[in-house]
């Protein structure tokens, strides 16, 4: 009942006059002036002049009017700026224009003893409008600029703190079934849904539901989608706003918007407030230095902290926030009682990618030859948004070819677009460069297939892609890995050096194409020394501390070693690269025939699959009675594929049985 009364009061206050204070002020001023003019007027002179309007008026000449005065035919005369009005003894009214050169009329009136007065010829409303008009112009200009500022600031001069235009209020239809690949995160927020549906159940038992839940994870992992799913499952209003919407050039605007946002949420409780990119307002205040500060961001953060303390744990309002920079958030924001819980929305694993692909394939016509498991295996490390984009790109490719369904090759092409970039079919490279690229990529592929711990080849291409890639070797991990052993890191270094070594063995001269490969190989060995303790240079001592970030590339490292240690590390990296390079050269010398066969097939087809690469190597090993370095890994891959297929079938059966039970 109280909610209805508050809503009614809010509707009463939300009228034209309250929403437009400037217009209200102008109307009120005009009404007051009109009432003053009507009640006070301009005295008897104006009244006597106006009373003559209702009588019969006759236009006479100036000399005739003077004759009437001399004969005392008139009883009263009113003199204006340009006209003279005379009232005769019988009530008739005579008017004439004043002759400027004559000054004897007043003397004549005094001589004859006739009453005379002055009057204003201008209308009182016109006179009032004349001096009021400039003020109206000023008010209109003020309102124009106020409206412009209102659009840019979401409020206006007298209402700049209003957040209604910044907040997206809705009741989402998204459910947990629409969010896949983040099962642990869904379990974490499930109790929030129950609290919003049945708050009394938790209040009675004395449980305290978290006021705030912080969703952290890499971009594109589905943090916003998960927040909408919570509101959709609970069937409550969902107030979503970006953190940057609170920040303006005027100090205090952001704090006012925070107050307004929480007031809206309390009126529609139970509800959910979702603040996306909360790091825009929640950065640590300690980052400003010892002097502190009083800027707009800090004022907004202080107001947010106060509002989160302003309602109890029994108030059915949950605050969800999302960020991919949790390391920069203020400690006061993360303490228990505010954002009590942090939920990691991580990139999906193999089974999670399969589920995400199925969700996005629901409304896309897929061909019978589509193997979701193969696409999921190729997209290791990609987020949910990337997978959604891959499905959409495949559908666009199929539509461009006038196909009725999306085929497996369309999905493969979209994966390559996402990883390597758009194919530059119009870029024509000369035969010499094409030959160099073919040997370079074949060297990568051979080392990847014959080195223990390396990622196996999925595809080799000499078709230019992206901004600078003239060719590429697409590797796929045998399984989802969350850590790497020492021999796997060395294997990755060998694969990176394989391209440059192939150029030296088969071309006789190296090119600039291996620049990025050498950079990555150097970084791997450097990390083994500095961070992982995998060398004798520093032993178990960590030489460089890095602060990991979900955004990637934003790591801030601090050097904590001497120049002498730096010399030792440089020498170790140099000698290790030289040692691994010699090993790679020897491997390529042993497999010269396999490389030549691979290059010939690349010249013919421009794209070859990982199976074709393995067949070439295995046949070469058989022809030369060599111990196979590929066969064992192929058997392991096939066994793993069967295990993954069985696992996915098992999961699908469990989902089908659960859906039947729900029905």
Mean per-residue pLDDT of the chain: 79
Identify whether the C-beta of residue 346 lies closer than 8 Å to the C-beta of residue 221.
Answer: yes
Exposed e or buried b per residue across 401-413, where buried means at least 16 C-beta atoms within 10 angstroms of its C-beta: eeeeebbbebbbb
Q: 314, 388, 381: which is closest to 350 by C-alpha?
A: 381
DSSP 548-607: --TTSS--EEEE-S-HHHHHHHHHHHHHHHHHHHHHHHHHHHHTHHHHHHHHHHHHHHSE
pLDDT at 557: 57
Confidence of residue 634 (pLDDT cuts 50, 70, 90): very low
Length of the chain: 663
Residue 313 CB contacts under 8 Å (≥ 6 apart), including other chains: 208, 209, 211
List 79's β-bridge partners, or say none: 84, 118
Q: Measure Cα distances from 550 to 107, 346, 402, 412, 653 in Å.
A: 100, 10, 40, 27, 35
Answer with the residue of higher pLDDT: 421 or 583: 583
pLDDT at 418: 82
pTM across the whole model: 0.66
pLDDT tops 80 at residue 249: no
List 661's β-bridge partners, or say none: none
pLDDT tens for residues 495-505? 999 999 999 99
DSSP 463-509: S-BTTTBS-EEEEE-SS--SS--HHHHHHHHHHHHHHHHHIIIIISS
Identify whether the C-beta of residue 98 lies closer than 8 Å to the C-beta of residue 82.
Answer: yes
pLDDT tens for residues 317-354? 888 999 988 888 888 888 888 888 888 888 888 888 99
pLDDT tens for residues 100-159? 777 788 888 888 888 888 777 666 666 666 667 677 777 777 777 666 665 554 444 444
pLDDT tops 60 at residue 218: yes
pLDDT at 302: 85
| Strands (DSSP E) found in 42-82 | 57-59, 74-79
pLDDT tens for residues 161-205? 455 555 667 778 888 888 888 888 888 888 888 888 887 887 788
Binding region for ATP? 217-224
pLDDT tops 90 at residue 448: yes
pLDDT tops 80 at residue 531: yes
567 has catalytic annotation: no
Q: Measure Cα distances from 292 to 279, 286, 300, 301 in Å.
A: 18, 7, 15, 14
pLDDT at 48: 45
Answer with the residue of higher pLDDT: 176 or 50: 176
pLDDT at 206: 81
Domains of the chain plus CATH, in order, are 2-39+126-153 (no CATH), 43-119 (3.30.720.210), 168-287+296-344 (3.40.50.300), 350-420 (1.10.8.60), 431-629 (1.20.58.760)
Binding region for Zn(2+)? 440, 444, 517
Q: 520, 328, 506: which is closest to 432 by C-alpha?
A: 506
Residue 306's Cα: distance from chain center in Å? Answer: 26
Answer with the residue of higher pLDDT: 250 or 436: 436
Binding region? 217-224, 440, 444, 517
pLDDT tops 90 at residue 595: yes
Give the C-alpha separation, 343 to 549, whole Å. Answer: 16
Q: Which residue's structure tokens are 């978290």?
A: 210
Active-site pick, 296, 441, 449, 621: 441
List 156's β-bridge partners, or say none: none
Q: Which residue's structure tokens are 């800027």?
A: 295
């Amino acid at each position: 009942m109280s909610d209805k009364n508050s809503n009614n009061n809010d509707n009463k206050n939300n009228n034209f006059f309250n929403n437009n204070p400037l217009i209200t002020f102008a109307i009120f001023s005009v009404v007051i002036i009109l009432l003053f003019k009507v009640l006070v007027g301009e005295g008897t002179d104006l009244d006597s002049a106006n009373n003559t309007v209702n009588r019969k008026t006759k236009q006479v000449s100036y000399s005739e009017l003077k004759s009437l005065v001399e004969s005392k035919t008139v009883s009263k005369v009113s003199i204006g700026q340009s006209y003279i009005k005379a009232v005769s003894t019988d009530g008739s009214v005579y008017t004439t224009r004043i002759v400027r050169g004559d000054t004897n009329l007043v003397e004549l009136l005094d001589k004859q003893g006739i009453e005379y007065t002055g009057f204003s010829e201008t209308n009182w409303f016109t006179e009032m409008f004349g001096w009021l008009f400039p003020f109206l112009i000023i008010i209109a200009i003020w309102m124009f600029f106020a409206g412009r500022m209102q659009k840019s600031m979401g409020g206006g001069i007298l209402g700049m703190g209003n957040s209604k235009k910044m907040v997206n209020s809705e009741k989402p239809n998204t459910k947990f079934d629409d969010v896949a690949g983040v099962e642990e995160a869904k379990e974490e927020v499930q109790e929030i849904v129950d609290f919003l549906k049945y708050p009394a159940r938790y209040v009675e038992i004395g449980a305290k539901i978290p006021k705030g839940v912080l969703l952290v994870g890499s971009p594109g992992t589905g943090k916003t989608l998960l927040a909408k799913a919570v509101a959709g499952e609970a069937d409550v209003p969902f107030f979503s706003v970006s953190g940057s919407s609170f920040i303006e050039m005027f100090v205090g605007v952001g704090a006012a918007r925070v107050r307004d946002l929480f007031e809206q949420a309390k009126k529609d409780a139970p509800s959910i407030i979702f603040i996306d990119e909360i790091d825009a307002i929640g950065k640590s205040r300690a980052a400003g230095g010892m002097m502190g500060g009083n800027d707009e961001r800090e004022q907004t953060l202080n107001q947010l902290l106060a509002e989160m303390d302003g309602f109890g744990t029994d108030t059915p309002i949950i605050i969800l926030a999302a960020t991919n920079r949790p390391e920069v958030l203020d400690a006061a924001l993360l303490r228990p009682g505010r954002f009590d819980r942090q939920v990691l929305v991580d990139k999906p694993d193999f089974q999670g990618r399969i589920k995400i692909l199925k969700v996005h394939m629901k409304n896309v016509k897929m061909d019978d030859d589509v193997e979701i498991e193969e696409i999921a295996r190729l997209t290791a490390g990609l987020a949910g948004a990337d997978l959604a984009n891959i499905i959409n790109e495949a559908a666009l490719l199929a539509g461009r070819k006038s196909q009725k369904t999306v085929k497996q090759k369309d999905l493969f092409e979209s994966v390559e677009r996402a990883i390597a970039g758009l194919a530059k079919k119009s870029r024509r490279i000369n035969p010499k460069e094409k030959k160099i690229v073919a040997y370079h990529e074949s060297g990568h592929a051979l080392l990847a297939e014959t080195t223990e711990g390396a990622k196996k080849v999925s595809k080799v291409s000499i078709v230019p892609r992206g901004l600078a890639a003239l060719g590429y070797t697409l590797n796929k991990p045998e399984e989802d890995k969350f850590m790497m052993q020492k021999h796997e890191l060395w294997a990755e270094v060998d694969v990176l050096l394989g391209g440059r070594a192939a150029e030296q063995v088969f071309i006789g001269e190296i090119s600039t194409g291996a620049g990025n490969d050498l950079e990555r190989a150097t970084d791997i060995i450097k990390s083994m020394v500095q961070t992982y303790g995998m060398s004798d240079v520093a032993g178990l001592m960590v030489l460089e501390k890095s602060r990991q970030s979900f955004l990637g590339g934003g790591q801030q490292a601090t050097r904590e070693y001497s120049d002498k240690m730096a010399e030792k590390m440089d020498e170790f990296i140099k000698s290790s690269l030289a040692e691994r390079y010699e090993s790679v050269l020897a491997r390529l010398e042993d497999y010269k025939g396999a490389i030549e066969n691979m290059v010939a097939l690349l010249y013919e087809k421009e794209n070859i699959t990982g199976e074709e690469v393995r067949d070439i190597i295995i046949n070469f090993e058989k022809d030369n009675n060599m111990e196979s370095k590929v066969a064992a890994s192929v058997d392991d891959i096939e066994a793993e594929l069967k295990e993954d297929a069985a696992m996915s079938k098992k999961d699908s059966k469990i989902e089908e049985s659960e859906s039947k039970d729900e029905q």
